[in-house]
């Protein structure tokens, strides 16, 4: 019976996802990524990483980065990730990520990396710090994914281009050195694949936005959430419908539909003939009802650092065992001498 169960786990496809501890997560990260993980984790062999190395591509205050990493670990668990079922670990605790990144760098080209939308966006946002890590971000992301022979990567729509590059690099490596990596597929969640900024609905909602009113943080309390929705940019007429020429209202309807489970059409019907002010208040309340219990549970978990340390240490051991299996194969394929133990 036990061996049968083990076999079932072995047969499950591998799912990998990583989130940067670059700030307190927003409802964009939650709706676009985290909220899907609980459902997915039992169907897949799930590996969740806290991408702290990626976070360093933008200037960080070291003590804040450490705090945010614990915050994110607690948030994953509060959102339903079971660290005994899934692997939950900190990226920098498994050096194989940086090691595979180096190998993949040797088959990546500056032209393709400088064309990435995120690189262009972040370069313009951080003109004083356009570093090599920022450009290399998608190669490290490819290493993260390919190390685990991942088949499925749940992502928000913003990461689609990076996932394409991971696939290209896997295919390029396999063609040059022989079959080594599985080719990963993306899984883009339906309703809230791209939650937009409340202040500038043409931009995606980001946790590192300098305008605090542009995003709802998973740490915001009910009053703050309602206040931010009241200030959210809307459109000129008074119709509450989803349409390309009404990006502000469309964004709020998408968020409302994601947190209530209603379809956008049902949400439009609910608010037919209502004022913007009533609509915004209702969206704020619905979001607060979703965020509040998660925040409380996250803070409870966060108060037990020993528990979190033990979860992350166990996670790193399990992740390393998988990662080094792939990395050893890669080293062998490219002609590096195998490390002798002892
Ligand atoms: N606005 C969004 N809507 C839907 N999904 C989103 N994601 C991020 N923003 C949205 C998804 O969240 C996951 C983790 O993202 P990340 O933190 O690793 O990096 P990011 O995409 O760069 O997120 P941020 O919030 O914009 O971070 P900063 O501000 O540090 O750059 C990914 O699956 C992403 O698709």
User: 159 CA to middle of ligand 1, Å?
Assistant: 8
**Reported confidence tier of residue 91, pLDDT bands at 50, 70, 90:** very high
Q: Are residues 226 and 150 in the same domain?
A: no
Beta bridge partners of 87: 47
Q: Is the pLDDT confidence value at 5 over 70?
A: no
Point out the residues that are catalytic: 122, 204, 207
CATH number at residue 243: 1.10.240.10
Q: Are residues 81 and 160 in the same domain?
A: yes
Q: Are residues 172 and 314 in the same domain?
A: yes
| Residue 141 included in any domain | yes
Q: What is the pTM of this model?
A: 0.91
Q: Are residues 147 and 221 in the same domain?
A: no
Region 43-68 average pLDDT: 97
Cβ of 19 closer than 6 Å to ligand 1, yes or no, is yes
**Reported confidence tier of residue 191, pLDDT bands at 50, 70, 90:** low
Q: Are residues 8 and 72 in the same domain?
A: yes
User: 148 CA to middle of ligand 1, Å?
Assistant: 21
Q: Is the pLDDT confidence value at 9 over 70?
A: no
| Residue 258 included in any domain | yes
| Residue 231 included in any domain | yes
Whether the Cβ atoms of residue 80 and residue 37 lie closer than 8 Å to each other: yes
For residue 93, what are its two tokens?
Answer: 């605790």
| Residue 126 included in any domain | yes
Q: Is the pLDDT confidence value at 41 over 70?
A: yes
Q: Are residues 111 and 252 in the same domain?
A: no
Q: Are residues 111 and 8 in the same domain?
A: yes
CATH number at residue 31: 3.40.50.620
Given ligand 1 and candidates 16, 17, 25, 32, which is best to mutate, with the most ligand atoms within 8 Å of its CB?
32
Q: Is 188 exposed, middle or buried (0-12, 13-18, 19+ CB in 10 A)?
A: middle
Q: Are residues 126 and 221 in the same domain?
A: no
For residue 94, what are its two tokens?
Answer: 């498994």
- The DSSP line for 8-56 is HHHHSPEEEEEE--SSSPBHHHIIIIIHHHHHHHTTSEEEEEE-HHHHT
Structural domain of residue 237, as residue ranges? 212-300
Q: Are residues 315 and 288 in the same domain?
A: no
| Residue 342 included in any domain | no
Q: Are residues 169 and 266 in the same domain?
A: no
Q: Are residues 232 and 144 in the same domain?
A: no
Domain count, the chain: 2
- Alpha-carbon distance values, 277 to 258, 264, 268, 294 (Å): 20, 19, 15, 26
Cβ of 28 closer than 6 Å to ligand 1, yes or no, is yes
Cβ of 195 closer than 6 Å to ligand 1, yes or no, is yes
Share of the chain above pLDDT 90, in %: 80
For residue 208, what are its two tokens?
Answer: 């590192």
| Residue 205 included in any domain | no
Q: Are residues 173 and 261 in the same domain?
A: no
Cβ of 26 closer than 6 Å to ligand 1, yes or no, is yes
Q: Determine how many CB atoms are found less than 10 A away from the CB of residue 15.
A: 23
User: 113 CA to middle of ligand 1, Å?
Assistant: 19
């Amino acid at each position: 019976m036990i061996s049968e169960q083990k076999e079932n786990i072995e047969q499950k496809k591998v799912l990998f996802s990583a989130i940067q501890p670059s700030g307190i997560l927003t409802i964009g990260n939650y709706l676009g990524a985290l909220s899907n993980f609980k459902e997915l984790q039992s169907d897949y062999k799930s590996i969740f990483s806290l991408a702290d190395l990626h976070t360093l591509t933008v200037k960080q205050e070291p003590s804040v980065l450490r705090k945010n990493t614990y915050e994110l670990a607690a948030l994953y668990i509060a959102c339903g990730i079971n660290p005994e079922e899934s692997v939950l670990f900190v990226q920098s605790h498994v050096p194989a990520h940086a090691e595979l990144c180096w190998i993949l760098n040797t088959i990546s080209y500056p032209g393709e990396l400088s064309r990435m939308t995120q690189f262009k966006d972040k370069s313009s946002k951080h003109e004083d710090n356009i570093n090599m890590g920022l450009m290399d971000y998608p190669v490290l992301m490819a290493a993260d994914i390919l190390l685990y022979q991942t088949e499925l990567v749940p992502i928000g729509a913003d990461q689609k281009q990076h996932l394409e590059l991971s696939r290209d690099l896997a295919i390029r490596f396999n063609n040059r050195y022989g079959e080594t990596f599985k080719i990963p597929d993306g899984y883009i969640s339906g309703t809230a694949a791209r939650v937009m900024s409340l202040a500038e609905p043409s931009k995606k909602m980001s946790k590192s936005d300098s305008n605090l009113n542009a995003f709802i943080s998973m740490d915001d309390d009910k009053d703050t959430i309602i206040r931010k929705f009241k200030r959210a940019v809307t459109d000129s007429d008074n119709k509450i419908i989803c349409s390309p020429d009404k990006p502000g209202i469309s964004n709020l309807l998408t968020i409302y539909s994601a947190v209530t489970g209603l379809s956008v059409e049902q949400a439009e019907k609910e608010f037919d003939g209502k004022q913007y002010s009533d609509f915004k208040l209702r969206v704020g309340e619905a979001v607060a009802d979703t965020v509040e219990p998660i925040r409380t549970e996250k803070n409870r978990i966060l108060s037990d650092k020993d528990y979190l340390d033990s979860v992350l240490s166990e996670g790193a051991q399990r992740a390393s065992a998988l990662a080094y299996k792939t990395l050893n194969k890669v080293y062998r394929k490219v002609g590096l001498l195998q490390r002798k133990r002892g």
